[in-house]
């Protein structure tokens, strides 16, 4: 299936590919919120990087391989979805940062933003495995109306300092 404009890569890690595909949508909502709040490119980079760590932790707990998350179906898809102007999930985050209600955002979007529907499931699965996913938790709290985007950022920034690893 290779051609001048297309190159296909395969993976024998279906769990890693599936986890990457689900979690990147949740992280794109978080990145959209940060972009909508004009937190800057350093905040975006931090969210993508720490989001990748969350994604990898969950994947490992489910039996995926760490290297899958460093490839196209992990980091590659995450970067595109979290930063691309066509990303529906990022657009949801941008609109949430404007203070619009989720129901209105989804009506106006006109397409499915998968992260809106998978965020709580990702959170539940992570909790059942004892995997810490603070960015995912913050997104779920915003989507469910428990906190505002600003409060979610304050919660994340107020977490105890620790080593990156």
At residue 25 the predicted structure's pLDDT band, cuts being 50, 70 and 90, is: very high
Mean pLDDT for 90-111 is 96
Report whether pLDDT(138) > 80.
yes
For residue 11, give both structure tokens. Answer: 């993976």
Distance CA 121, CA 18 (A): 13
**Six-digit token string for 104:** 């209105």
Q: What is the pLDDT of residues 78-99, one digit of tens each?
A: 999 999 999 999 999 999 999 9
Angle formed at CA 116 by CA 150 and CA 16, multiple of 5 degrees:
110
pLDDT the model gives residue 162: 85
Separation between Cα atoms, residue 138 and residue 143, nearest integer Å? 9
Is the pTM for the entire model greater than 0.85?
A: yes
**Residue length of the chain:** 165
Over the chain, what is the mean pLDDT?
95
Rounded Cα distance between 87 and 161, Å, is 31
Q: Show which residues are catalytic.
A: 24
The pLDDT score that the predictor gives to residue 81 is 97
In this model, does residue 165 exceed pLDDT 80? no
């Amino acid at each position: 299936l290779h051609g001048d404009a297309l190159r296909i890569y395969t993976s024998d890690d279906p769990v890693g590919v599936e986890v990457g595909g689900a979690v990147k949508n949740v992280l794109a909502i978080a990145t959209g919120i940060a972009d909508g709040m004009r937190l800057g490119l350093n905040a975006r980079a931090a969210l993508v990087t720490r989001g990748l760590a969350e994604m990898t932790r969950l994947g490992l707990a489910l039996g995926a391989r760490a290297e899958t998350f460093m490839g196209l179906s992990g980091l590659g898809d995450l970067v595109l979805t979290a930063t691309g102007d066509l990303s529906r999930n990022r657009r949801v985050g941008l609109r949430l940062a404007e203070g619009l209600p989720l129901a209105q955002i989804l009506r106006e979007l006109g397409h499915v933003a998968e992260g809106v529907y998978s965020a709580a499931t990702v959170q539940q699965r992570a909790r059942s495995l004892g995997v810490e996913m603070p960015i995912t938790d913050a997104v779920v709290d915003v989507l469910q109306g428990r906190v505002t985007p600003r409060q979610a950022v304050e919660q994340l920034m107020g977490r105890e300092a620790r080593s990156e690893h």
